[in-house]
Amino acid sequence: MSHNRLLVIRLSSIGDVVLTTPLVRRLRAKFPNAEIHFLTKPAFAPLVLYNPNLTKVFTPETFNKASFYDICIDLQHNRHSAQLRPYARTTLRYRKENWKKFLLVNFKVNLYSGYTSTAERYINAVAPLGLADDNEGCEIFLDDASKAFAAKQVEQNSNRPKPSVLAVAYGARHFTKRFPAERFSSVLNRLLEKYALEIWLLGGKEDSTIGEEIYRSIAQKEQVKNFAGTCSLLESAALIERADAMLCNDTGLMHIAAAFQKPIVALFGSSVAEFGFLPYRSPHSILEVKNLTCRPCSHIGRDRCPEKHFRCMTDIDDERIIAAVETMLRIDQSTLSNLNNK
């Protein structure tokens, strides 16, 4: 049977789209001559637009549902993606197993057998295709303009010794995934007192208010650049590529950092590893408060702490964060190589 035209559907969001890239790469290796198309929402299209393993990238507005495909791979698998699915000889769907999430969130019954990344779950969804593991992680491909933007930020400091750059993604869509802004400020001030660091604050327009709050509270402002809300998604990605390490919440920019193999310190509040969203095949340290009976309270996050104490974030000690950042900034290439192969 021919496999000349393949379609991958993942409509949202940043992390979910980034985590499809190992599947896309393995599809290209399996079907080197096929047309491989990708369908996603406009906000996330830049994440795959320059991927050389893809032939075309569509959004719902530009996609022709009347197109024919040999294989359609629906990684969204909801009513929105079902409405967009074209006719295909074979349709493969990602099974989200939401019932397991429901039991874990609502009854704290854990039926997950060990950790499996969402990237691997996507690949398991197309098991009939027999894709070989290449032991590689996620990928982000940048356009020249975004690369030039990030390069300019580094060149501006070329007249002095280059400090280590710590990218900080302090935002997240939901409150229960956001480490408090004042605590980020405290951690960053202490790091800047000890080390010749440069801090890059990253986030979207929705994060700009908190970013400005953090920036204003930092004493050594000459060592901080606040990019939140001022640059595009790919410009943010290009900045992450130039950074030495990432401190972040469980958010989309974390997965972009993982795609560039950046050492990551991630703060997990209401989310847990079982949901499948740890940094994929990249060096990382996950800081979390274990053994809280209320955790997880949601598989996507909440707008407020249902218990009104928010201990899943506030009980993460500043000293733990500082120590983890120190370790990640010292990580060497041999450690990175070992982590890649796990």
Predicted local distance difference test score (pLDDT) of residue 338: 44
For residue 217, whether the previous peptide bond is cis, meaning omega lies within 30 degrees of 0, is no
Q: In this predicted structure, what is the pLDDT of residue 160?
A: 52
Please list the residues that pair with 38 across neighbouring strands. 8, 57
DSSP 166: E
- Can you give the pLDDT at residue 339? 43
Q: With both helix axes pointing from N to C terminus, report the angle between 233-242 and 144-155 in degrees, rounded to the nearest 10.
A: 50
Q: Which helix (H) or strand (E) holds 92?
A: strand 87-93
**Is residue 323 exposed (0-12), middle (13-18) or buried (19+ Cβ within 10 Å)?**
middle
68-104 exposure pattern, b = at least 16 Cβ within 10 A, e = fewer? ebbbbbbbbbeeebeebbbebeebbbbebeeebbeeb
5-129 fold: Rossmann fold (3.40.50)
pLDDT for residue 112: 95
Contact 233, 203 (CB under 8 A): no
Tokens representing 174 are 């939901």
Other Cβ atoms less than 10 A from the Cβ of 37: the count is 20
Along the 342 residues of the chain, how does pLDDT read in single tens digits? 568 999 999 999 999 999 999 999 999 999 999 999 999 999 999 999 999 999 999 999 999 999 999 999 999 999 999 999 999 999 999 999 999 999 999 999 999 999 999 999 999 999 999 999 999 999 999 999 999 999 998 876 555 557 899 999 999 999 999 999 999 999 999 999 999 899 999 999 999 999 999 999 999 999 999 999 999 999 999 999 999 999 999 999 999 999 999 999 999 999 999 999 999 999 999 999 999 999 999 999 999 999 999 999 999 999 999 999 999 998 644 444 444 433
Peptide bond into 22 cis (omega under 30): no
The DSSP letter of residue 89 is: E
**According to the model, what pLDDT value does residue 342 have?**
38
Mode of pairing for the β-strands spanning 87-93 and 164-169: unpaired
Which pLDDT score, from 0 to 100, does residue 283 have? 95
Does residue 271 contact residue 86 with C-beta atoms inside 8 Å? Answer: no
Predicted pLDDT at 3: 85
Helices (DSSP H) in the chain: which residue ranges?
14-18, 21-30, 46-49, 79-84, 98-107, 118-125, 144-155, 181-194, 208-216, 233-242, 252-259, 311-314, 318-329, 333-340
Closest Cα to residue 8, out of 22, 26, 20?
20
Q: How far apart are CA 124 and CA 94, in angstroms?
A: 8
User: Which one is the CATH code of 144-340: 3.40.605.10, 3.40.50.620, 3.90.480.20, 3.40.50.2000?
Assistant: 3.40.50.2000
- Interior angle at CA 276, CA 77 and CA 251, nearest 5: 90
The domain segmentation of the chain, as residue ranges, is 5-129, 144-340
